[in-house]
Amino acid sequence: MKVASFNIQKFGKSKLSDPFVLKTLIKIVSRYDIIVILEVVDSSGDAVDNFLKELNKFNKTHHYTLEISTRLGRGNYKEQFMFLYRDDLVDLVGSYQYKDNQPGDEDAFAREPYVLRFKCHKTVLEDLVLMPVHTKPEDSVKELDELYDVFQNVKMKWKTDNIMILGDFNADGSYVSGKEMKTIRIRSDKDFHWLITDDEDTTASTRNDNTYDRIVVYGDDMLKAVVPNSAKPFNFQTAYKLAHEDVNKNHFTFELIFNHTYHKDMSYYCTFILQNEFSKHRFNVFTGTESE
């Protein structure tokens, strides 16, 4: 199962009014079983609805369902987190809008995380929680550190630690220094695994090679469920031979793949063969010998 996050700069009517951009974005999104879209600025919801309609026209094998947050942000400028997922492969079993009202530390986030919980049908990890992030650049250090509290809140609420934090962390360049990175709790706590390395260029911009976008998973079970080295940016400019300004000038998608489970029929077949092989022999646990 392939999961991704994509900061599509100003995803709304204006961007999607270009047929080429719409077609290319649908092609990109169709690579994934679950994808989180950041920076949705469609106040009417019309662009989002039309995108889902066109996405399902393009995909004949798998059907996508949409889940979207309320409009989030301080002042007049608002964004939404949008999830698109293949509903034959996962079930949405929970959603949670973080309240951001800790006493003495209210309004820590410009855009409070909107957290979803999925039941996955064909992966080794059946329970999966996704926590998307789009930090305000100048407040990135504080917001990233506060994600530790969100994690603990979600862990307590749903009694699971199968939690993935993903999105635009703005965790590089002038926004977060190496020294500041060490103070961030989801970085200093070794149970959190950062799967996008600090030297990976996640930006579509030709002006910098910063690692703004990240994927972080918690615990060894989550880490083992991920296909090794599958967490990486997808350079759609190179893959689709696009000019820099064609679709999205700031960010690539970044993705990972979860290991699949064995098919139930295959598992049964293997068990059947093993049982038959063992039944051919009678093993004496005292003598260490076997007889036909």
Helices and strands: H and E segment counts in the chain: 9, 14
Residue 67 has pLDDT above 50, yes or no: yes
- Per the structure, the count of domains in the chain is 2
Asked whether residue 44 falls in the same domain as residue 26, the answer is yes
- Catalytically annotated residue among 79, 146, 200, 255: 79
Torsion of CA 117, 10, 168, 243, to 10 degrees: 120
Asked whether residue 140 falls in the same domain as residue 283, the answer is no
Asked whether residue 278 falls in the same domain as residue 135, the answer is no
Asked whether residue 272 falls in the same domain as residue 211, the answer is no
Question: What does the mean pLDDT of the chain come to?
Answer: 87
* Mean pLDDT for the stretch of residues 182-204: 85
Q: 88, exposed or middle or buried, with CB in 10 Å at 0-12, 13-18, 19+?
A: middle
* pLDDT bracket for residue 130 (50, 70, 90): very high
DSSP 6-41: EEEEEESHHHHTSHHHHHHHHHHHTT-SEEEEEEE-
* pLDDT bracket for residue 251 (50, 70, 90): confident
- Per-residue exposure over 187-198, b if at least 16 CB sit within 10 Å of its own CB, e if not: beeeebbbbbee
Asked whether residue 288 falls in the same domain as residue 217, the answer is no
| Structural domain boundaries enclosing 32 | 2-261
Asked whether residue 238 falls in the same domain as residue 292, the answer is no
- Catalytically annotated residue among 39, 112, 134, 143: 134
**Known catalytic residue at 263:** no
pLDDT in the model for residue 280: 47
**Known catalytic residue at 134:** yes
Asked whether residue 129 falls in the same domain as residue 197, the answer is yes
Q: What is the CATH number of the domain that holds 219?
A: 3.60.10.10
Supply φ then ψ for residue 60, to 5 degrees. -90, -25
Asked whether residue 166 falls in the same domain as residue 290, the answer is no
pLDDT tens across 154-185, in order? 999 999 999 999 999 987 777 888 899 899 99
The token duo for 88 is 């034959």
* Mean pLDDT for the stretch of residues 130-135: 97
Tell me the whole-structure pTM to 2 decimals.
Answer: 0.86
pLDDT in the model for residue 145: 96
Asked whether residue 246 falls in the same domain as residue 269, the answer is no
Asked whether residue 228 falls in the same domain as residue 285, the answer is no
